[in-house]
A and B are shown apart, each in its own frame.
Chain A
Amino acid sequence: MYWRIETEPAPAAVTVPLLEALDLVKDYRSGSEVRRALDGVSLSVGQGRFLSVMGPSGSGKSTLRHLLGGLDRPTGGEVLLEGRSLGTLSDRELTEYRRRVGFVFQSFNLIPVLTVAENVALPLVIDGCRRAEVDRRVRDTIADVGLEAHADALPSRLSGGEQQRTAIARALVTEPAVLLADEPTGNLDSATGEQVLSVLKTAQRERGQAIVVVTHDPDVAAVGDEVLHLRDGAVTGCIQLGPDADGSSPAQRLIAWLSDGAA
C-alpha cells in the first residue's frame, strides 16, 4: 500500500482552519541593512488537508516554514494554531506549541545513537509521557509506516527512504495538529520519494492529518490538495488540485499552471 500514490482529493474534511497565517511579514537585519524575507503571506490549513508551498530558491519557503513551526517569530502579521496566536506566547509556551507541530526535515535529522524506536519515542520522552503510553504509541506508529522489522536498528543501517519514514513516524507519534515537511524527498531518489509521499497521503487519509509540505519540486507539490506559490517573499498564486475534466493528473495541471505564468 505504500507504493501507490493517491491522486484523488481527500474526502471532504472539516474546514475549520487548524493552522492560519495572516499577512505574515519577516525582516532580517544585517548591520544597517534590512532584508524582507516574507511580505504579507497568508494561508490556512484545515484538518485532513494537504497544502504544498512551492517556489524557487530565495522565495521565502524556509522562512515561512520556520514561522509556521514556531521556530521563529514574525516581524508582522500572525500565526494561529488551533485559534491561538503565536505572537502572544512566551518562550515556554512556544516550546509547548512546537509539541503540537510535527517536523519532517529534508536531511531526516535522526539521532544516530538512537534506534528507530527510540528516535520515534523521543518527542514523547521530551513530553514526559508514561512508559506504557510511549511504548504503545511508538509500536503503533512504527507499524503505520511499515518499519516494524527495523525497530531496533540504528539509522546508519537504514536506507534513505527508511530513515525518512522513521522521521515521519517521529513527527506523527505525538498526533500533532499539523505536520510540517521540508523537502521530504529532497535527498531521495524518485522511487523512494514516492514511497515517502505515499506515507504522508496515508496519514492524511487515515488519521485526518493536516499536512504542509514545502518544496521546489512540482511533482512533490502536486501530491497536495492545494498549492501555494511564493516568489520573492510574496504569494504569487494558489491552485486547488483535483482531477480535471480532461483526465490530466494534478502534476500535469500544476506544471501547466506554472508554465502559463500564473504563478
Chain B
Amino acid sequence: MALRSLGGLAARTARERRGRAIITTTGIALGVAIFFGVADCNASIDRAYAQMADAMVGRADVIVSPLGTGITSMPTAVADRLRGAGGVADAAAFHVVWVNADRTLRGAAVRRAGIRPMPGRRLPTEAHTGVPFALIGTVPADASRLDASRLTAGRLPAPRAPEIAVAAELQRRLQVHVGERLDLTGAGGRQRVTVTGVLEDTGAARLTGGTAVGTLESAGVLSGAPSVVTSVEIRLRHGVQSDRWIEDHRALAGPSVDLVDAASFAAPIRASFRSTEQSFSGMSAVALFVGVFLIYLTLSMAVLERTRLYGMLFALGGTRGQVRRLVLGEAAVLAAVGTASGVVVGLGIGLVLLRVTARLIGLASPALVVPPAVLAVGIAAGFLMTLAASWIPARRAARLSPVEALRNDHEPPHRSVPSALVGGALIALGLAVPTPVTRPILSSTAITFVLFGLVLSVPLILSPVARLVGRTTRRLAAAVGEVAVMHLVKERSRSAFTLALVMIVMALAIMLGAAVQSARGALSHQIDAQFGADLRVFGTFDANRQAQVAKVAGVRAMTTLSFGSSSHLLADHPELRAYVEVIDPRTYFDVSGFAFVEGDGQRARTAMAGGGTVLLPGVIAQRLHSHPGDTIRLTTTAGVRRFEVGGTYVSFFTGPGIVVSATDGRLFGAGVPGQLELSVQPGERPVVVGQRIATALGRGAGERYQAASLLKEQALGRFDRFTAIFYSILGVAVLIGLLGLANTLAMSVLERTREIGLLRAVGVHRRSIGAMVRVESATLAAVALLLSVPLGAVLTTMVLRGVGASSGYRARFVFPWSSLPIVAALGVVVAVVAAAVPARRASRLDVIAALRTD
C-alpha cells in the first residue's frame, strides 16, 4: 500500500484532473519563463557590458582623457607627468585617430561597409570605397601590459614602425590578411601601413565596428598632430585607492584633463540600457502577475470541485491544517513541474531576447549566461507565485463547514461590499503614490496597487455591467442566452476573477498601445525638433575646414557642435553623470533646435549669446528640480562656476547632455568641433550636397555623413523593434488570459452538467447548449473590454509618469482609439477560442448521464 501521508494524496489529486493540472502548470511555466528569460537576458547583457568595460580598460585603474570633444587631444607632457607620479605602477598613452582605408570590397563586405544601392538598382557585388575606422596609436609593448586585447594571429606592430594589427571585425570589413598593405588617410596626412596581426574582438572594437592598433608615430602622421595623445591608462601600485589617487593628482594633471576611475568608465553605456532593462523587467513582472491570477483561478476551481472530499476528510477527523496543507501540497506539485518547465523555456526566451536586444543596442554576440542567483530567483518566482495564488483557496478549503462540504454546498457567500471598499482604497493609494525620480520602482508598485484594487472591486460591478452587456450578447443564442447571462451574474466570485484576468490583459494591451503611440510621437517630435538639420557631418572641423564647408554649393546654413564628458560636471551632484554639448547659439537655432520642456529657442538664443547660461536635459532637470531662472554649479577648467538655467529639453533620445554656449566652451575644455549640422538650399538634395562637401574636403579623415531622414528612420525603426519585444511579452499574457477563461468555462460546464441534462431533456438542441457557453464567454469578454478601457487609460497615465520620472521625458497622453478595434478583435478571438472546447463538451453531454450527476 502506497499511501503514507496526505502529501501522497495531494500528488494523486493533482494528477487526477489532467486538463486542469496542465492549464495550471502552463500558467506557472509561462509566467516563470518570461520572468526568468528576461532576467537572464538582462544579466547576460550586464555581464557583456562588464566584460566589455573590463576589456576597454584592461588592467588600468585610472583613465586620463581631455575634458572636451570626443576625440581631442592633450600634450604628451601630461602623460609623462602622470607616468612619473607617485603610486603609479604602469602607464600607457594612446592616440586615437579616425582614418579611411582605400579598399576594393567584395560580397558581404559591401553591405557591411554601409554602401546602399541606387534607387531601382541592386547592391553591387564589388565596390571601391574608403572604409572608416578608429586607429589606436600607442606603444604596443606598453599597451599589451595594460590592455586586455589578445592576438589571434600574427604579431603586434613593432615600435615606431608603420604597422597595424586589426581587430577581427575590422578584418572582415576590410577583407584584409596578415602581411597585406593598406593605404590610410587621416585628417593630417596619409601613410601606407602593413597589417601584422589580428586581434580578438573586445572592448571598444565591439561598439565601433572594429579598430586597429598602430604606433603613436603612425597616429601622429595621420592626424597631423605628432605630439599629442587622446588618453592615458594608468595602473596603480597595489593598495593605492583609485578615487583617492585621482583627487590627489587632479592638479598635477591640469585643468583641461579628466581623470576617471576605470571601474566606472563604462557606466554611461550601461546606464543607457538601464531604463530598457527596467521596462523589460516591469513587463515580465506583469506577465507573472497575470500568471498568478490564472493559478488562483484553477486552484479555486479545484477546491470547489473537491468540496465533498474535504468534507469527508473533516468527517474522518482531518484537521483544518491538514486540509490546508493538502491544497498547498497539490499546488507545490504543480509548482515543481511548472517551474522546471518554465526555466527550460525561459532559457530559450532569454536566448532569443538576448540576440534581438543585442542587435538593437549594438552589442556583438553576447553569450547567454545563467548566474546562479538569477536561476534561484526564477525558481523562487515559480514557487512563490504558486504559493501566493494558492493561499486563499487553501484557506477557503480549510474553513469549509464539514456539513456544507459533505452536501457539496460550495458557493461561499461573497461579501462584495467590504472587498470593494478595500479595492477602492488600494486604487486610491496607487493613484496617489508619487513617482520620485530616484525611485521609479514605486511606479510599478502603484500599478500593482491599482490592479489589485480593481480585482477586489470587480465582484461589485460585475452584476450591473454584465446585465447591461448581456442585453446584447444574450441575443447570440435564443432562449438559452438569457440563462448564460443569468449564471454569469449570479456566480459572482468565479466569474469576477476570470473577468478580472481578461480585463487586466486587455487593459495591458491598451496601455501598451497608448504608451507606444505616445512615446513614438514624442520621440518623433524630439527628433524633428532637435535633429531637423538636413545633413550632419561627423569629423574634426577647424576654422579652415568649416570655411571650406560653408562655401560648398547648396549649403544654406551651418552650425557647429562639440561634445565633452566629465565625471564631476555637476559640482553638487558627483553621483550624476552628464556630458557637455557646446553649440553656437548665433547659428544653432537657424539650423536645428531642441524639444523644449520649458523655454523656447528664441529665449535660449538670446540668453546663451553672452554665455553664462545653459540648457538642462529633462532627466537632469527632474532630478535637480531645476527650472528656467534657477542657477546650477558646474565644474569647469577654471573651477566651479554658476550658470543660469535658460531652458530644459526632452533628452529621451540624446541622454543627459548639458548644452552650453560656444562662448563658455573653453571653460569645459571644448576644442575643435566634431560635428557640423547643415541646412541645404531649397531644391537641393542633402545627399548630393554631402558628396560635394566630401569632394571639397578631400578624402578626409573619415568624415561620416548622415541625412536627417535616415536618422529618424533608424531611430524609429530601433524603437519599433524594441516595442515588438514588449508586444511579444504581452502575447504571453494574452495566452495566460485565454487559458484562464477556458478553465472557467470548463468548470462552469462541469458544475452545470445536471442543468444541461435538464435543458436537453426539455428539448433544447445540442448546438444551443454550445451557444449558451459561447454567450457566457462573449459576455465575459465584452464586460472585460468595457472595463479595460478606463483601466487601460489609468495604467497608461501611470506608465508615462514612471517613464517621465526615470528618463525626464514627458510624453503626451494620447488614447489609442485606433487600438480599440484591435483589442476588441482580440477579445472576440479569446472568447471564441476559450469557449471552443467547453462548448463542444457541453453540447455532447449524454442526457441521462448528465441528469444522474450529483
Contact = CB atoms under 8 A, between A and B. Distances in A.
Contacts of B406: 71, 105, 109
The 9 tightest CB contacts between A and B, nearest first, are: A99-B317, A118-B3, A113-B12, A71-B402, A98-B317, A117-B1, A123-B316, A109-B312, A103-B315
Interface residues of A, number: 34
Q: Chain A's interface: helix, strand, loop or mixed, by majority? A: helix
A71 B403 contact: yes
Interface stretch (A125-133, A210-218, A221-229, A238-246): A125-133
A82 interface: no
B374 interface: no
Interface string A118-141: 100111011100010011001000
Contacts of A115: 1
B847 interface: no
A71 B314 contact: yes
A66 B156 CA distance: 93
5 contacts: A71-B403, A109-B312, A109-B406, A126-B317, A174-B317
A151 B403 CA distance: 29
Interface residues on B, range: 20 to 34
Given A98-B317, A109-B312, 4 more contacts: A95-B314, A111-B9, A114-B3, A114-B9
Given A111-B9, A113-B13, A135 B317 contact: no
A72 B403 contact: yes
Given A71-B403, A112-B16, A113-B13, A123 B1 contact: no
A99 B322 CA distance: 14
A42 interface: no
Given A112-B16, A114-B3, A122-B3, A103 B402 contact: no
Contacts of B315: 69, 71, 98, 103
A101 B233 CA distance: 85
A92 interface: yes
Contacts of A92: 319
A95 B318 contact: yes
Contacts of B324: none
Interface string A151-183: 100000000000000000010001000000000
A127 B13 CA distance: 20
Contacts of A204: none
A96 interface: yes
Nearest to B315: A103
Nearest to B306: A111
Interface in A91-109: 91-92, 95-96, 98-99, 103, 105, 107, 109
A98 B403 CA distance: 13
Nearest to A95: B319
Contacts of B9: 111, 113-114, 122
Given A109-B312, A112-B16, A114-B9, A138 B1 contact: yes
Contacts of A71: 314-315, 402-403, 406
B602 interface: no
A181 to B, nearest CB: 12
A109 B318 CA distance: 15
A123 B3 CA distance: 11
A107 B408 CA distance: 12
B1 A135 contact: yes
Which of A91, A109, A134 has most chain B Cβ within 10 Å? A109
A123 B309 contact: no
A126 B322 contact: yes
A92 B401 CA distance: 14
B4 A111 contact: no
**Among A107, A118, A127, A134, which residue has the most Cβ atoms of chain B within 10 A?**
A118
Nearest to A67: B403
A91 B401 CA distance: 11
B308 interface: yes
Contacts of B575: none
User: A112, A115, A126 — which one has the most chain B CB atoms within 10 A of its CB?
Assistant: A126
Contacts of B314: 71, 95, 98
Interface in B5-32: 5-6, 9, 12-13, 15-16
Contact of B317 (A66, A96, A117, A131): A96
B851 interface: no
B2 interface: yes
Given A99-B316, A126-B313, A118 B403 contact: no
Given A111-B309, A113-B13, A122 B403 contact: no
Interface string A57-93: 0000000001001011000000000000000000110
Contacts of B4: 125, 131
A107 B854 contact: yes
Given A111-B309, A112-B16, A113-B12, A122 B2 contact: no
B520 interface: no
Interface string B294-315: 0000000000000011001111
A56 to B, nearest CB: 19
A214 to B, nearest CB: 13
A113 B15 contact: yes
A27 B61 CA distance: 84
A112 B309 CA distance: 10
